[in-house]
Chain A
Amino acid sequence: MSQPGPADAGASAEALGPWCAACGEVGTAGKAGHERCAAALELDTPRFCTRCGRRLDVQVYPTSVSATCRRCDGVHPRDRGRA
């Protein structure tokens, strides 16, 4: 079971790798070409792994979000969304 504790939603927009967590393209949410992605992440979960670009397994709970990448084997600590 994976229900992460509190995390900073803003942190999910930060890059851990070359991929944007919102759209899955190369880039970083909030940076050049991905300005709208940062806004999207205010009320949406990360959808792509910032390390490898794969779609994440996302489960939304009332007060938390689990976002995991099968390839990178585990929850991305900065991709958990708002608690």
Chain B
Amino acid sequence: MPIATTPSRDDAAVAAYVADPAKLLTLCEESLIDRRETLTADMAYALADLDIDAALPSEERPEGTVLDAMLDLAHRVRVLWTSEEVALESIVSGKTGGCPEDCTFCSQSSAFETLVKPQPLLTEAEVLQAAASAEAQGATEFCIVYAVRGPDERLMENILALTAIVHEKTEMHVAVSAGILTADQAKRLKAAGVIKYNHNLEASRSFFPNVASTHTWEERWETLNLIRDHGMEVCTGGIVGMGETPAQRAELALELAEFRPTETPLNFLNPRPGTPMADREPMQPREALHAIALFRLVLPWTLLRLAGGREIALKDLQSAGLLGGVNGLIIGNYLTTLGRTPQQDVQMLKDLDIPVRGVQDLL
């Protein structure tokens, strides 16, 4: 698939949509619900530009806002295009720190003085124990993540061995995230049983120069091509709250949509000490909800998974995300930071009466 060009934008059309949010949302509903068609780029840009706090009363919500209406539509879209179920995944850092890349959000980069001390590769026993504990908490997917530019031969052998043993000892689907791949590596991962490969675009093409200088957005795009061409499911998303404009947030969603990813992890910047983004203010909860609804409406088919930083950005509004377009969660801890406990998230799903994929009677 050729490198994406920045999705075109007709400023006059976007402005007209933004001026009449009720009409815009009606048009979105007609497209996504009635005709089951995806949105135009201009509609996506307009959704990102909306004033979410503007009043938009409805019969159900006389005091409603634009954000309320967006979340309501996003929830109905996700139920129609995917299902009622939410899928739970856990992740583990198979190799922590010492990464040669300079991603400005990342505490694992060796380019910055951070609090993360590089650690050796996890052993098979450590990974297996981590997988077993995640499965016991309700995870049906397990992703092993490596802080590398891309896998060398030693790491490839490690990945292949770990994939085999997790498959053998658990019922979980195994996903891997190990950076930029070659065609041969993609072929070997597929043959070893890696069902899904994660490689985030992280940011829109126009914002990416603020994210990394040691590799390009286009290199990430090429790896996504390899993943799909070799028959693995594409898991690609990004991080919001890094200083991008609303238009660049829409641009990222549109670029991701070009790949029709099976899964889209949505991360929220957790400003890490020592990184160039350490002093950025975290997103506010309502802005985070706006991003969630936007991504759902632009990517209606995808497994939209709340990922890192959700505790920081959404705070006590986790459940609003689940009723605003989300159908996946990373449960438990992240790569270098802590998350909510799995029990908290499972209880939240139970309280919301949302079924969990592949799991019954977690509580």
A and B interact:
yes
A residues contacting B by CB (< 8 A) are 1, 3, 9, 42-45, 47, 55-65, 81-82
Contacts known (A56-B117, A61-B92); A9 close to B133, Cβ less than 8 A: no
Taking the closest CB of chain A, its distance from the CB of B190, in whole angstroms, is 25
Q: Are B332 and A62 in contact (CB under 8 A)?
A: yes
Q: Does A61 contact B133, Cβ atoms closer than 8 Å?
A: yes
CA distance A82 to B339 in the complex (A): 9
Query: Are A63 and B126 in contact, CB atoms less than 8 angstroms apart?
Result: no
Q: Which residue of A lies closest to B125 (CB)?
A: A1
Residues in B whose Cβ lies below 8 Å from that of A60: 92-93, 96, 333-338
Instruction: Determine whether the beta carbon of A43 is less than 8 Å from that of B338.
Output: yes
Q: State how many angstroms separate the Cβ of B28 from the closest Cβ of chain A.
A: 35
Q: Residues 118-137 of chain B: 1 if any A CB is under 8 Å from the residue's CB, otherwise 0?
A: 01001101100110011001
> Once the chains bind, are B335 and A3 in contact (CB under 8 Å)?
no
> Do A62 and B137 form a contact, CB below 8 Å, given A43-B311, A45-B336?
yes
In the complex, chain B residues whose CB is within 8 Å of the CB of A63: 90, 130, 133-134, 137, 332-333, 341-342
Interchain nearest-CB distance for A7 vs B (Å):
12
Give chain A nearest CB distance to B59 CB in angstroms: 40
Contact in complex: B119, A57 (CB < 8 Å): yes
List the interface of chain B (C-beta within 8 A of A). Answer: 90-93, 96, 115-117, 119, 122-123, 125-126, 129-130, 133-134, 137, 139, 270, 311-312, 331-339, 341-342
Contact check: which of B96, B133, B137, B334 meets A59 at CB < 8 Å?
B96
How far apart are the CA atoms of A46 and B180 in the complex, in Å? 31
Interchain CA distance A43-B139 in the complex, whole Å: 21
A residues within 8 A CB of B116? 58
Q: Kindly state the separation between the CA atoms of A64 and B339 in the bound complex, as whole angstroms.
A: 10
Judging by beta carbons under 8 Å apart, are A44 and B338 in contact? yes
The distance from the CB of B187 to the nearest CB of chain A, in whole angstroms, is 29
- Measured between C-beta atoms, what is the minimum distance from A31 to chain B in Å? 19
Q: How far is the CA of A14 from the CA of B312 in the complex (A)?
A: 23
- With a cutoff of 8 Å between Cβ atoms, the chain B residues found around residue A3 in the complex are 126, 129-130, 133
The interface residues of chain B lying within 8 Å CB-to-CB of A62 are: 90-92, 130, 133-134, 137, 139, 331-333, 342
**Chain B nearest CB: distance from A57 CB in Å?**
6
Give CA–CA (A43, B334) in the complex, Å: 10
Q: Are B117 and A55 within 8 A (Cβ)?
A: yes
Which 3 pairs between the two chains have the least Cβ-Cβ distance?
A62-B332, A62-B90, A62-B134
B90 contact set on A, CB distance < 8 A: 62-63
Closest to A61 in B: B130
Q: How far is the CA of A55 from the CA of B115 in the complex (A)?
A: 8
Instruction: Name the distance in Å between B292's Cβ and chain A's nearest Cβ.
Output: 20
A44 contacts B122, CB within 8 Å? no
* Docked complex Cα distance between A42 and B337 (Å): 10
User: What is the minimal beta-carbon distance from A44 to any residue of chain B, in angstroms?
Assistant: 5
> Which residues of A have CB within 8 Å of B139?
62
Q: Does A1 contact B337, Cβ atoms closer than 8 Å? A: no
28 examples of A-B residue contacts, CB within 8 angstroms: A1-B126, A9-B338, A43-B311, A43-B337, A56-B117, A58-B96, A58-B119, A58-B336, A59-B93, A59-B96, A59-B122, A60-B92, A60-B334, A60-B335, A60-B337, A61-B92, A61-B133, A62-B130, A62-B133, A62-B139, A62-B332, A62-B342, A63-B133, A63-B134, A63-B342, A64-B133, A65-B333, A82-B338
With the chains together, A82 CA to B119 CA distance in Å? 20
Q: How far is the CB of A79 from chain B (nearest CB, A)?
A: 13
Distance, CA A55 to CA B97, complexed state (A): 14
Among B90, B93, B332, chain A packs the most CB atoms within 10 A around the CB of B332
